[in-house]
A and B are shown apart, each in its own frame.
With several copies, the nearest count.
Chain A
Amino acid sequence: MVNKIVDSINEAIGPISDGATVMCGGFGSSGIAFNLLDALLEQGARELTIIANNAGVGETGVAKLLREHRVAKVICSYPRSPGSIWFERRYEERAIDLELVPQGTLAERIRAAGAGLGGFYTPTGYGTELAKGKRTEVIDGVGYVFERPLAADVALLKASQGDRWGNLVYHTTARNFNPIMATAATTVIAEVSEIVELGALDPESVVTPGIFLDRVIEVDQVFV
């Protein structure tokens, strides 16, 4: 029987190696798996590469991992936000590498990894600093940048409901990067505010089919 539901947050986060690449869903403070990020901190993995839209604010989520020197590299589109003090400090100290990626390119690279593509041409960033060193090509008069897929060892997702097959639905704009990250990591873990019976989710409305999921845990949602 397929049962992806686990009972403890430590079981949910499981073994994560030093040097692992971790995708973290979320945009701003919406859709971030704060419980799983706390569990990752407790679990102790170091030298992490974090793939996320932002790089954490205040003393929460990715910011806590940065504070505790667990992060070697950040791949994101918008690391600097009001309150991103730990990112800014580690960046100034040159303690972390930063790969800055336009947000649509970040999303598309993640999708490409999940969909088994070898890369794609995007018009975004053509003629800008962020295309420097990248292969470019003019096709039918439009300039494009060649971008490679972006996969991860682990993805940490936040959803609203999940079932034992791992099917997920999200709440409003907390959806953001979560469904695409679900497709692009070797191990995919979701925290949900409610586990529901198999069959309770409408198959027309499932956003992330369970095929992508490894583990699902019910948590009290955290908002910051």
Chain B
Amino acid sequence: MIRFTPEQIAARCAQDIPDGAYVNLGIGMPTEVANHVPAGREVIYHSENGVLGFGTAPEPGTEDPDLINASKQYITMQPGGAFFHQADSFGMMRGGHIDISVLGAFQIAANGDLANWSTGSEIYPPAVGGAMDLAVGAKQLFVITRHTHKDGTPKLVERCSYPLTGASVVSRIYTDLAVIDITDNGFQVIEMHGENSLDEVQQLTGARLLPPA
């Protein structure tokens, strides 16, 4: 089977970020999406800690120690950027002003439920951060993830067993095997990478896949 690398998944997702979009990229693999947006598109990035219009990582030695993104990485500003406080920042999310939020996932259910903040562990202290606000607020929520857990169990499932981040929130899923939309009828395959067949992908999926049109 064709399995996209994380970079390839991010690059595929980046194709769907249109010119002029306001985009929030979650911690981890989603951050990689910014490196693959096609040339000529002007995308304005939002980070939950109160910034719009940030740019690439600073040259080593030029970091502003106060200026970071949600992943606590140093960033730079683009001309046209703006700072604001945390209540205004989350108002932007919840108020539907962010066009696209890209998040990772533990599980995605066929009805668009997302689980990505807690494995339900009793030992490990929980942390939610902005995940639930991001899940609920953006006009479109893209998930980028490997199709299965490391042990091969499906991440795309009929119903999430992990605690939910948000109910019926996901729009589209980019995995290492396929691009899949959430529809009223469940998981709708949009495209499969390389020569992957529906049967192959279906076997690694915990709920029914509708074939591409």
Contact = CB atoms under 8 A, between A and B. Distances in A.
B164 interface: yes
B70 to A, nearest CB: 8
Contacts, number: 215
Interface string B159-199: 00001111100000000000000000000000000000000
B80 A108 contact: no
Nearest to B131: A102
B126 interface: yes
B87 A116 contact: no
Interface string B62-88: 001111110010000101111111110
Contact of A102 (B66, B125, B130): B130
A125 B91 CA distance: 15
Contacts of B42: 1-2
Contacts of A77: 127-130
B12 interface: no
Q: Interface SS of chain A: helix, strand, loop or mixed?
A: loop
Interface in B77-121: 77, 79-87, 89-98, 118
A167 B52 CA distance: 11
Interface string A148-175: 0000000000000001110100111111
A201 to B, nearest CB: 8
Interface of B: 19-20, 22, 42, 44, 46-53, 64-69, 72, 77, 79-87, 89-98, 118, 123-133, 136-137, 163-167
Given A2-B44, A111-B91, A183-B95, 8 more contacts: A77-B129, A79-B125, A108-B90, A122-B94, A143-B167, A165-B80, A203-B53, A211-B52
